[in-house]
Amino acid sequence: MGAMKKFKYIYGPVPSWRIGSSLGIDLLSQTEKICSFDCIYCQLGKTKSYSLSRERYVNEAEVVKELAMLPSDVRIDFLTFSGRGEPTLAANLGDAIKAAKKVRTEPIAVITNSSTIDREDVRQEIALADYVIAKLDAPTQEMFEVINRPGETIRFHGVLEGIRKFRGGYKGKLALQLMFTKENANCAGELARIVQDIGPDEVQVNTPLRKCPVQPLSESELSAIQGLFNGPQVISVYSSHKISVKPLSDPDTLIRRGKT
């Protein structure tokens, strides 16, 4: 157990309905949430001050050291860049993905809130991952402000254009994750049309089932929403297969599991 307590930047593996056994990598912080949004359903508490620029928080060499220390019998389906906030705000995300690929063979996932995807550098870096899960909860600037409460400079139009551009050039698997609460439930039809136009490989229809400030939609409400989406693969948090995974360290896993 001694060595396991030393993990600062990796956590889990946590069972993820989307990813299976997900080993989280946090390039942001061990304490405060670092995010460009303040979603009404965030499980990490309120965003105290928005982070809008990309910074280097954690040295990727330290992450690699921890990855190299993993016990050989741990089952991992994906190495997932997520953590306490928005992972693309880490300026070294691309470097960290490259470094992780040198020491591990598992595929890499990035879970992003899409706030920086209008940037060319971000699109290039997340394109290094095998699986990108990008958030899209709103069809308009107005609903974007209601549900995601973005930092002042972030425009919905930029987010949407960024997702479209990324889709155009990305060879890996792109999932769009849509979190529904009563606030945006009646935008589902409009969102479905936008999603169909973007053409992701997967659509993840979600509602906040873990403890957070707002109520989830019921299974039947979410299932009605799911029915509006056509396409290759539409999955829902209620109908997904639950897996059981043994984490390396419980406390860290619990505080960071918010997004996987």
Classify residue 99 as exposed, middle or buried by CB count within 10 Å of its CB (0-12, 13-18, 19+). Answer: middle
Strand order in the sheet with 234-236: 10-16, 20-25, 78-81, 108-112, 131-135, 173-179, 202-206, 234-236
Binding segment for ligand SF4 (CB under 6 A), chosen from 38-46, 59-67, 101-109, 161-169, is 38-46
Residue 10 CA to residue 115 CA, distance in Å, equals 23
- The CB-of-37 to ligand SF4 minimum distance in angstroms stands at 4
Residue selected from 9, 37, 57, 156 as contacting ligand SF4 according to rule CB under 6 A = 37
65: its two tokens:
């050291």
Residue 44 is a binding residue for ligand SF4 (CB under 6 A) = yes
Residue 212 CA to residue 200 CA, distance in Å, equals 28
Binding segment for ligand SF4 (CB under 6 A), chosen from 31-39, 151-159, 169-177, 190-198, is 31-39
Residue 227 CA to residue 215 CA, distance in Å, equals 21
Q: In 46-76, which positions are buried (b, 16+ CB within 10 angstroms) versus exposed (e)?
A: ebeebbeebeebbebeebbebbeebeeeeeb
Nearer of residues 38 and 201 to ligand SF4, judged by Cβ: 38
Residue selected from 92, 138, 259, 260 as contacting ligand SF4 according to rule CB under 6 A = 259
Residue 256 is a binding residue for ligand SF4 (CB under 6 A) = no
Residue selected from 26, 60, 77, 86 as contacting ligand SF4 according to rule CB under 6 A = 86
Residue selected from 42, 138, 154, 174 as contacting ligand SF4 according to rule CB under 6 A = 42
Residue 89 is a binding residue for ligand SF4 (CB under 6 A) = no
x/- contact string, 96-135, with ligand SF4 (CB under 6 A)? -----------------x----------------------
Binding segment for ligand SF4 (CB under 6 A), chosen from 29-37, 155-163, 192-200, 220-228, is 29-37
Residue 15 CA to residue 22 CA, distance in Å, equals 6
Nearer of residues 39 and 248 to ligand SF4, judged by Cβ: 39
Angle, CA of 24, 78 and 159, to the nearest 5°: 75
Nearer of residues 32 and 38 to ligand SF4, judged by Cβ: 38
Residue 175 is a binding residue for ligand SF4 (CB under 6 A) = no
Contact 156, 196 (CB under 8 A): no
φ, ψ at 36 (rounded to 5°)? -100, -5
Residue 150 is a binding residue for ligand SF4 (CB under 6 A) = no
- The CB-of-111 to ligand SF4 minimum distance in angstroms stands at 8
Binding segment for ligand SF4 (CB under 6 A), chosen from 7-15, 34-42, 52-60, 160-168, is 34-42
Which amino acid, one-letter code, is at 190?
E
3-state secondary structure of 208: coil
Residues of this chain that interact with ligand SF4 (CB under 6 A) are 33, 35, 37-39, 42, 44, 47, 85-86, 113, 259
